[in-house]
Amino acid sequence: MTWLDRRDRRTWLDRDEGAKRPKARKPSARVYSVKSVAGLLDVSKATVYKWLMEDEETGESVIPAAGWYKMPSNGSIRIYDWVVEKLLKGEL
C-alpha cells in the first residue's frame, strides 16, 4: 500500500464532506522578533534582552512585561508593535 492508497481511506481524523475548516486567526497586533527590533533601533540584540529584564533595585524594565511574550513552541521572544513605536518615539 502506498501513501496514495492511505490518503483515500477515511480515518477518524477526516472531516465530514460538508464541514468547513476553521478560519485562521489573525494576530491582534503586529509583533517583532528581538533581532528585528534591534535592527530598527540600531542596537545589539543583547541590549534588547537587557531592556526585557527587570532591574533588581526598582523591579521595572524598559520594555514592560505586557509588551512582549515568549512563543510556546520554541521560546523565542516577540515584542508588540505598540512597544516598538514607543521606543522609536523615545517614550519608553
Domain ranges for the chain: 29-92
Check if the beta carbon of residue 32 is closer than 8 Å to that of residue 82: no
User: Residue 5: pLDDT above 90?
Assistant: no
Q: What would the mean pLDDT of 30-44 be, rounded to a whole number?
A: 93
Residue 12's pLDDT band (cuts 50, 70, 90): very low
Instruction: Output the pLDDT for position 57.
Output: 81
> How many whole angstroms separate alpha carbon 86 and alpha carbon 81?
9
Residues 83 and 85: their CA atoms lie apart, in Å, by 5
Provide mean pLDDT across the span 23-41.
80
pLDDT of residue 25: 53
pLDDT of residue 55: 79
Helix (H, G, I), strand (E, B) or coil at 56: coil
* pLDDT tens for each residue of 53-92: 887 788 788 998 889 999 888 889 999 999 999 999 988 7
Q: For residues 42-70, b (16+ Cβ closer than 10 Å) or e, as one string? A: eeeeeebeebbeeeeeeeebbbeeebbee
Architecture of domain 29-92: Orthogonal Bundle (1.10)
